[in-house]
Amino acid sequence: MQPRKFLTARRLVLLASVAGLGAAVIFAGAGGYSAGLPAWTSPASAADSTLQHPSGFADIVAKVKPAVISVRVKIPASDTDLLQQNSDQDGIPLQPGSPMEKFFRQFGDQFGNGAPHRHETITGEGSGFFISADGYAVTNNHVVDHAKSVQVTADDGRIYTAKVVGTDQKTDLALIKVDGKSDFPYVKFADHAPQVGDWVVAVGNPFGLGGTVTAGIVSARGRDIGAGPYDDYVQIDAPINKGNSGGPAFDVDGNVIGVNTAIYSPSGGSVGIGFDIPADTVKTVVAQLKLSGHVTRGWLGVQIQPVTAAIADSLGLKKAEGAMVDEPQSGSPAAQAGIQSGDVITAVNGNAVKDARDLARTVGTMAPDSTVKLDIVRNGETKTVSLTLGTMPDRQKQANAGSEHDRIPGGVPHLGLSVAPASEVEGAGQQGVVVTAVDPDGPAAEQGFQAGTVILDVAGKAVSTPSDVRQALADAQASGKHQVLMRVKMGDATRFVALPLGNA
């Protein structure tokens, strides 16, 4: 079966080559570039039948390929279940059918076929690259996680034993070290972020074939694929496949713009959607791994959510930007500084916060014990709060974003809700009102309300009876608001939801 798969891969490569040639012919007459790589030159005249082909990436590849390595690991068979368990922790939730779930199932290390016996080891392969002459190299955390041993194969075919210096699950990065030499070829990280449309060259070890080069362009930046709280991926269309994990992507100057980490693919092969950890993130993480073997991050201690257009309208904000505080965690730096539920954090140290993800990334790049100033909007007023960041705990409970809910008819006509005092419903607690029924066609159902959801306050006012809810809604409508903001508890998570008022 394996040779058959290999033959199929070869046939696909040949077809891709033919398709690529066709594209080159089409672009040959579309205009020329006199500098940069690659470059096309149009014919001197319509009668000139000689087409100038792309000059290619040969010079770049010759410069960088010696620094790219194949990473081969042996993992105890007893630990393979832990790989999946760990991938569900520390900010890398793998929801069934999500891009990252498919990635870890299809794209990651190339484990051997067949069910292993209890005491066997499994061999996997990935890619990496040297970043210093003394043997430090970067790869993905999932490539070396739980590795019993690590070997790297250099571009010249020489094999070396490597040790794992440190790993970071949250960004899926690892730093490894080969000892005994001080003249390894290495590459440098780019000083500037790539722009959409820039050329990119990916080098790695796809399918265990050996060093392979592909090229394309940067398709997008700032991609969030649900891998963790610090998602900020560079999307590229240079084909990357199984075994490219941990390999570098280069700009036309031969500098690393990112680390190949994930693909979106229904089959495990490239369909032109690949994701790279950006160089700036890699540099920051690798520096800490080299220093201490692990990464420490600043901790604010809040559950946050994006500010939607509806929430912005209900709060009177001009733009749907910033991060809304669902709830400060007890004893956290945020709680000690007086941050409250409903506050919207709009800036950190004077730098605007675009959304909740932006806030998480910003704070996560700061060192514990750093003093920061947060600009917040509370009840329509802008305030500045100073606090000292804590150290992010090793295990963070992720906010439960809710799920699809059972929907049953009932209730308050303009919201589609029926409520009762929480104190009268067993297990609902003593605060707020509990939703007893939801109209499937009402606005509350569209926002994920379900029977059992507890409403803690409406438009900033605490509620404990159905009449409190109705009065808060009437007051909000009388003040001319089109949306009403509710603080609700769904399961173990507290969040804010904006509902359209409509007609009472």
Contact (Cβ atoms closer than 8 angstroms) between residue 110 and residue 124: yes
Phi-psi region of 165 (alpha: psi -120 to 50; beta: other; left: phi over 0): alpha
The kind and range of the H/E element at 358 are: helix 356-364
Which class for 452: exposed (0-12), middle (13-18), buried (19 or more C-beta within 10 A)?
A: middle
Give catalytic residues, as residue numbers: 142, 172, 245
What are the backbone dihedrals phi and psi of residue 51, each rounded to the nearest 5 degrees, phi first? -100, 135
**What stretches of 342-432 adopt beta strand conformation (E)?**
344-348, 351-352, 371-378, 381-388, 390-391, 417-421
Alpha helices in 157-301 (DSSP H): 279-292
Tokens for 449, please give them: 């309300």
Contact (Cβ atoms closer than 8 angstroms) between residue 243 and residue 69: no
- Distance (Å, whole) CA 128 – CA 137: 7
Instruction: Return all residues near 223 (Cβ < 8 A) that are at least 6 apart.
Output: 231, 232, 233, 234, 235, 275
**What stretches of 311-369 adopt beta strand conformation (E)?**
323-328, 344-348, 351-352
**What stretches of 224-311 adopt beta strand conformation (E)?**
233-236, 248-250, 256-263, 274-278, 298-299, 302-306
- Distance (Å, whole) CA 356 – CA 361: 9
- Distance (Å, whole) CA 234 – CA 248: 12
Determine the 3-state secondary structure of 136 from DSSP.
Answer: strand
Neighbours of 474 (CB within 10 A): 12
Check whether the bond before 38 is cis (ω within 30° of 0).
yes
Neighbours of 486 (CB within 10 A): 27
CA angle 344, 349, 350 (to 5 degrees): 75
Instruction: Pick the closest to residue 469 from 421, 406, 503, 399 (CA basis).
Output: 421
Sign of CA dihedral 130, 134, 135, 139: negative
What are the backbone dihedrals phi and psi of residue 17, each rounded to the nearest 5 degrees, phi first? -65, -40
Contact (Cβ atoms closer than 8 angstroms) between residue 306 and residue 319: no
